[in-house]
Amino acid sequence: YMLSKIPISLLKNKLSRDILSKIVFHYVRIRRRILSMSTIPGLQDLTTIHQCEDYIAIDKHYDVKINDNDPEVKVTVANQLKEKYPHLADEKLCHHFRWVHRLDYATSGVLCVPLSKKAARDAGISFQSRIVKKYYLALVRGHLCEEQVCVDKPVGVRNELGLTHMMCTDETPSCGDKREAKTRLTVLERGEYDSEPASKLLLEPFTGRRHQLRVHCHHIGHPIVGDFTYSEGKDLSPYRMMLHAYRLILPLPNKTMDFTAPDKFLPEIDDKWKPSQIINNVSSLLESDDH
Q: Which residues are tagged catalytic?
A: 104
Other C-beta atoms lying within 10 Å of the C-beta of residue 196: 11
CB contact at 8 A, 137 and 265: yes
CB contact at 8 A, 109 and 245: yes
CB contact at 8 A, 168 and 239: no
Please enumerate in sequence order all residues whose Cβ is within 8 A of that of 18, keeping only pairs 6 or more positions apart, or say none. Answer: none
Please enumerate in sequence order all residues whose Cβ is within 8 A of that of 13, keeping only pairs 6 or more positions apart, or say none. Answer: none
Give residue 131's identity as a one-letter amino acid code. I
> Residue 171 to residues 35, 163, 168, 231, 285: CA-CA distances in angstroms?
36, 16, 8, 18, 32
β-bridge partners, 58? 48, 111
Residue 100 to residue 118: CA distance in whole angstroms: 12
Instruction: Label residue 97 exposed, middle or buried (CB < 10 Å: 0-12, 13-18, 19+).
Output: buried
